[in-house]
């Protein structure tokens, strides 16, 4: 029993130091940040959404295309200036996604290199018509987990 009390006491004592170290290793971001998709050569303002499980890119006129026996999608999106960009990307998978109203849809998922601040990594991005949304790119938990801390009171913490 004394050993258990000692261990709990040590954990309680060291907990703030461990948490402080974990915070140092994470990047602080705001509710809106600039992101880059280097392979597509697009820069966009992205809405950070800790409630969203996955990351989403605005896409319209989505068509399946077969190339070399593999499934691709051809679609249109927009860059930060509102210019329409047509892309063809390999489909990684499809996924069922529930929107905020609870409506479930099946979306194509592509794998792209994402750059946010000094971090660059390949992530899964689902394609969705975000025409009515202010931000054409949404960053979900699949990107945020373990790497970022979100301060919802701030925007553009990483700069313009």
Average pLDDT over residues 8-26: 56
39 — pLDDT class (breaks 50, 70, 90): very high
> E strands within 16-152?
27-30, 32-37, 42-48, 55-58, 60-67, 70-78, 84-90, 93-98, 104-116, 119-128, 137-139, 148-151
Q: Which residues does 20 contact at the CB level (< 8 Å), separation at least 6? A: none
Range of weakest confidence among 62-71, 95-104, 124-133: 95-104
Asked, for residue 4, whether it belongs to a domain, the answer is: no
Q: Which residues does 78 contact at the CB level (< 8 Å), separation at least 6? A: 58, 84, 85, 136
Asked, for residue 2, whether it belongs to a domain, the answer is: no
Asked, for residue 8, whether it belongs to a domain, the answer is: no
Asked, for residue 21, whether it belongs to a domain, the answer is: no
List beta partners, residue 24: none
Per-residue model confidence as pLDDT tens digits over 105-141: 899 999 999 999 889 999 999 999 999 999 999 999 9
pTM of the model: 0.81
Distance between CA atoms of 88 and 59, rounded to whole angstroms?
A: 11
Distance between CA atoms of 109 and 13, rounded to whole angstroms?
A: 45
Asked, for residue 15, whether it belongs to a domain, the answer is: no
> Which pLDDT score is estimated for 154?
92
Asked, for residue 142, whether it belongs to a domain, the answer is: yes
> Which pLDDT score is estimated for 21?
45
- Number of domains, the chain: 1
Asked, for residue 88, whether it belongs to a domain, the answer is: yes
Phi, psi at 134, each rounded to 5°? -70, -40
Question: Would you tell me how many other CB atoms lie within 10 Å of the CB of residue 119?
Answer: 13
Mean pLDDT score of the chain, rounded to an integer? 87
Asked, for residue 121, whether it belongs to a domain, the answer is: yes
CATH code (residue 32): 2.40.70.10
Domain region containing 97? 28-151
């Amino acid at each position: 029993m004394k050993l258990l009390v000692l261990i709990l006491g040590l954990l309680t004592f060291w907990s703030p130091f461990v948490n402080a170290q974990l915070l140092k290793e994470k990047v602080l971001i705001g509710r809106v940040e600039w992101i880059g998709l280097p392979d597509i050569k697009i820069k966009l303002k992205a809405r950070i959404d800790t409630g969203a499980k996955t990351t989403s890119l605005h896409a319209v006129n989505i068509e399946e295309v077969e190339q070399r026996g593999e499934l691709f999608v051809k679609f249109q999106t927009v860059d930060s200036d509102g210019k329409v960009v047509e892309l063809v990307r390999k489909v990684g998978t499809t996924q069922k996604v529930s929107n905020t109203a609870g409506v479930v849809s099946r979306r194509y998922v592509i794998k792209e290199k994402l750059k946010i601040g000094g971090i660059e990594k390949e992530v899964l991005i689902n394609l969705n018509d975000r025409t009515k949304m202010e931000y054409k790119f949404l960053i979900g938990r699949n990107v945020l987990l373990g790497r970022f801390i979100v301060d919802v009171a701030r925007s553009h913490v990483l700069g313009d």
